[in-house]
Amino acid sequence: MELRHEWKYEINAADRLILRQRLAAVMEPDPHASEGRYLIRSLYFETPTDRALREKLSGVSRREKFRLRCYNGDTSVVHLEKKSKLAGLGNKQAAELSRAETERLLRGDTLWMREDGRELVRELYVKMTTEGLRPKTVVEYMREPFVYGPGGVRVTLDYDIRTGLLATDFLDAGLVTVPVPGDPILLEVKWDGFLPQVIQKLLELPGRRAGAFSKYAQSRIYG
């Protein structure tokens, strides 16, 4: 399993404006971003005992979570993702689902997943069957992404984070969401072998320290 380094910082609106200017001067915008940003919608899966949430809040070193994700409201292709964490390092595995496959999954029609050719789809089926993993809540936010070739660096600014409470209708374009408490803004830094000094300098903000902020956990405050 290929692991990447990950740092997360909770920042404020002034920090975001400063960082945006700094990052744009040195890093490249993500080629998938329209006008430098895109809207992300994720649907997180959870066990009946809220294991993913409890492990995150307890700081368990080795943990995983499954989610569906789409960008800018385009549900013609949906990304099934598994995020794994091990001692502060991260890994993401992904597989593409069609809208029709996503509709079947969301209405509980999962037998087709058992013999699917994609390993991640089969793994989700096993976890749904043996651990009771089910869709739990939708999370939406705006992301401004920047990339830097040396070190495989990716820096993102995430804001306007909203929760669908316990809604799971991921494909509903009119799904009602509400802001998560505190209107947080999140800086995420990910890299492979090394983090270039020039990027470290860009990210320096007085009083800001790497933490363990979770958009999923924040979205669960309401239940």
Check pLDDT > 80 for residue 1: no
Check residue 98 and give its pLDDT: 98
Per-residue confidence (pLDDT) for residue 12, from 0 to 100 = 94
Q: Which two three-digit tokens encode residue 2?
A: 């290929």
Residue 207 pLDDT more than 90?
A: no
> Do 186 and 8 meet the contact criterion of CB atoms below 8 Å apart?
yes
User: CA 134 to CA 128: how far, in whole Å?
Assistant: 6
Q: Which pLDDT score, from 0 to 100, does residue 59 have?
A: 85
- Residue 221 in this model has a pLDDT that exceeds 90: no
Domains of the chain: 4-219 (3.20.100.30)
At a CB cut-off of 8 Å and minimum separation 6, what does 125 contact? 110, 113, 114, 116
Give the pLDDT of residue 193.
Answer: 85
Q: How far apart are CA 80 and CA 101, in angstroms?
A: 11
The pLDDT mean for the chain works out to 94
β-strand pairing of 62-71 with 74-86: antiparallel
User: Is 90 exceeded by the pLDDT of residue 16?
Assistant: yes
Contact between 155 and 200 under an 8 Å Cβ cutoff? The reply is: no
pLDDT, tens digit, 9 for 90 and up, residues 113-129: 999 999 999 999 999 99
Residues above pLDDT 70, as percent of the chain: 100
pLDDT digits (tens, 9 = 90+) for 18-38: 999 999 999 998 888 888 999
Number of H helices, E strands in the chain: 6, 10
Q: Contact 178/163 with Cβ under 8 angstroms?
A: yes
What is the tens place of the pLDDT at every residue in 99-158? Answer: 999 999 999 999 999 999 999 999 999 999 999 999 999 999 999 999 999 999 999 999
With residue 67 as reference, give the H or E element that holds it.
strand 62-71
- When pLDDT is averaged across residues 173-199 and rounded to a whole number, the result is 95
